[in-house]
Amino acid sequence: MEQLKKIDMKDNYSMNVSLQCVTCGNTGAFDFNEDKTYVRCTACNREYLNGYAELVELNQENINNVLEEKKSEIAQDLKNDILKAFKGNKYIKIK
């Protein structure tokens, strides 16, 4: 029986999502207090009184879009790696 080849997956699937001010659309220019319970956009001075959690909640759609893209990338990489691992095996057919 043919020995399985090592599946060579990417080492890191980490991602970064830039949070965006819902008022002016500015990304990345925020002032935080020490425990991130208060956030202020430096471009338009909008204050997020519930802090970082409120900013993340308001950016949830952007976060979900990036997450879906990453899921698709991981699924495609996994499929390619499985196809590569079983390439040439006459007993296993993957469609």
What confidence score (pLDDT) does residue 10 get? Answer: 59
* 18-27, long-range: CB < 8 A, 24+ apart: 19/55, 19/56, 19/59, 19/62, 20/59, 20/62, 21/46, 22/46, 22/58, 22/59
61-95 pLDDT, tens digit per residue, is 999 998 998 899 889 988 888 888 888 887 877 77
Alpha helices in 17-59 (DSSP H): 52-58
Strand positions, DSSP E, 25-67:
30-32, 39-41, 47-48
3-58 pLDDT, tens digit per residue, is 444 445 555 777 788 899 999 988 878 998 999 999 999 999 999 999 999 999 99
